[in-house]
Amino acid sequence: MRSRRRYAFASADRTVTSVHDAVFGVFGALEVLVPRRVVDFWFALATAESEDGDVELADRVYTAARIEEVVILAWLLARRRNRAAAE
């Protein structure tokens, strides 16, 4: 039973890694091919112009950063648990 579990975790981990690699590969290629368009897109998404004409980070950027960090921490904890269970 334990060996099946280990295999299931390894299979899921490989699938996640493959998707992760593909997504980052596409974004990396886009940034190499058209860096200005990629940076301009993310800059426009992340900023908001205030009434006096200054450009500031939009409030949603801080929310997105928090969500991103929760996802990263959850992923790291899950990997640690899977490695501990495999040993």
Alpha carbons 35 and 28: distance in angstroms, whole number: 9
When mean pLDDT is compared across 6-10, 42-46, 61-65, 73-77, the lowest value belongs to 6-10
pLDDT score at 41? 93
CB of 13 closer than 8 Å to CB of 82: yes
When mean pLDDT is compared across 8-22, 24-38, 63-77, the lowest value belongs to 8-22
Determine the structural domain holding residue 56 and report its residue range.
2-86
For the segment 23-39, the average pLDDT, to the nearest whole number, is 91
Buried b (16+ CB within 10 A) or exposed e, 8-37: ebeeeeeeeeeeeeeeeeeeeeeeeeeeee
- 3-class DSSP string for 21-57: HHHHHHHHHHHHHCHHHHHHHHHHHHEEECCCCCEEE
Structurally, the chain folds into a number of domains equal to 1
**pLDDT higher than 50, residue 82:** yes
